[in-house]
Amino acid sequence: MSADRPTFDSWTGRIDPEPDTLRWHQVIRPIEDADRPGVALIGFACDEGVRRNQGRPGAAHAPAAIRKALANVAWHREGPAFDAGDIVCTEGGLEAAQARLSENVTELLAAGHFPIVMGGGHEVAYGSWEGLAGHLARKAGRTPRIGIVNFDAHFDLRDPAPVTSSGTPFTQIAEACAIRGWPFRYACIGVSRASNTRALFRRAADLDVLVREDREVTPASLADIGKALDAFIAGCDHVHLTIDLDVLPAWEAPGVSAPAAHGVPLALLEPLVERVRDSGKVRLAELAELNPEFDLDHRTARVAARLIHTLTLNG
């Protein structure tokens, strides 16, 4: 693989003397040591898409921050976990970085791993999806139905012409699906009407996107939204789960490019993530938009670590 290898400096933490008290830093191993499939973390150290989208750069440092926050999280898995290193974007080479990520994700999937990509700006989603598509394209049979479940305050359906960015990945994926003759299935939960123009809502409607706004995600509506996600996933063979951390309210996730004034609290987000996870169809997951430069008390990194913990509990 072409990812830069981690130094494992971030994988340090508390060691308890009692039995059965392992934490992530005591268990995770380099991907080269993989003797069986497991969770494979891969970083996307890139915020070029955020810069192009006129956001606050800094997300390139997210993978290291997530590793540091995850290191001390208690270990509750049965299967192994591996660190597959980082894809580093240099000299504004976003497209090259996305291509490298795609290649690495395809290889991890071919080896039977469950990749969790740690972004990086949300431009990560296009590289991740291309990796999943590349893996599925190698298999004979019917056209794959990939469903994208995105928890996000933004659609990220901007026009990729003349330049791609963190605001364009799902339009790019829709165009890639059209070229391949594949269906485009997209659900976006937590969208802020205040942060998305009427043009973006129209594009979402034209693409038949399943939409639930941030203000719609309440304790009373959680079951109905869960059922809508169940119905969406039932029409898919594979799920690409992507979580933009700016879906959370600013007080829970201050360390993002665009903090949310409303947002979806973690107490409501996590049950929906669990519901998608428990579908058994998630082949790939990612976290995007953590910006450590603005992360008060490492709150956002801790949320990212918690979500990785949640995503990997069943393995």
pLDDT tens track for 87-113: 999 999 999 999 999 999 999 999 999
Tens digit of pLDDT for each residue in 196-229? 999 999 999 999 999 999 999 999 999 999 999 9
Percent share of the chain, pLDDT over 70: 98
In this predicted model, which residue has the larger pLDDT, 89 or 141?
Answer: 89
pLDDT class for 35, splitting at 50, 70, 90?
A: very high
Boundaries of every domain in the chain: 24-311
In this predicted model, which residue has the larger pLDDT, 55 or 304?
Answer: 304
Q: What local confidence, expressed as pLDDT, does residue 315 receive?
A: 62
**CA end-to-end span of the chain, whole Å?**
24
Nearest CA-CA partner of 105 in 43, 63, 60 = 43
Q: Give 138: exposed, middle or buried? Use CB within 10 Å, 0-12, 13-18, 19+.
A: exposed
Tens digit of pLDDT for each residue in 40-53? 999 999 999 999 99
pLDDT class for 139, splitting at 50, 70, 90?
A: confident
**Cα–Cα dist 133/262, whole Å:** 34
Asked whether residue 75 carries a pLDDT value surpassing 90, the answer given is yes
Q: Residue 83 CA to chain centroid, in angstroms?
A: 16
* Contact (CB, 8 A) for 230 and 272: no
What is the residue-averaged pLDDT of the chain?
95
pLDDT class for 314, splitting at 50, 70, 90?
A: confident
pLDDT class for 5, splitting at 50, 70, 90?
A: low
Asked whether residue 6 carries a pLDDT value surpassing 70, the answer given is no
**Cα–Cα dist 80/111, whole Å:** 14
Percent share of the chain, pLDDT over 90: 94
Nearest CA-CA partner of 173 in 134, 142, 121, 231 = 134
Q: What local confidence, expressed as pLDDT, does residue 112 receive?
A: 97
Q: Three-state SS string across 14-78, please?
A: CCCCCCCCCEHHHHCEEHHHCCCCCEEEEEEECCHHHHHCCCCCCHHHHHHHHHHHHHCCECCCC
**Cα–Cα dist 55/195, whole Å:** 13
Helix 94-110 to helix 124-137 angle (10° resolution) is 40
Fold that domain 24-311 belongs to in CATH: Arginase; Chain A (3.40.800)
The dihedrals phi and psi of 56, each to the nearest 5 degrees, come to -95, 110
* Contact (CB, 8 A) for 207 and 184: yes
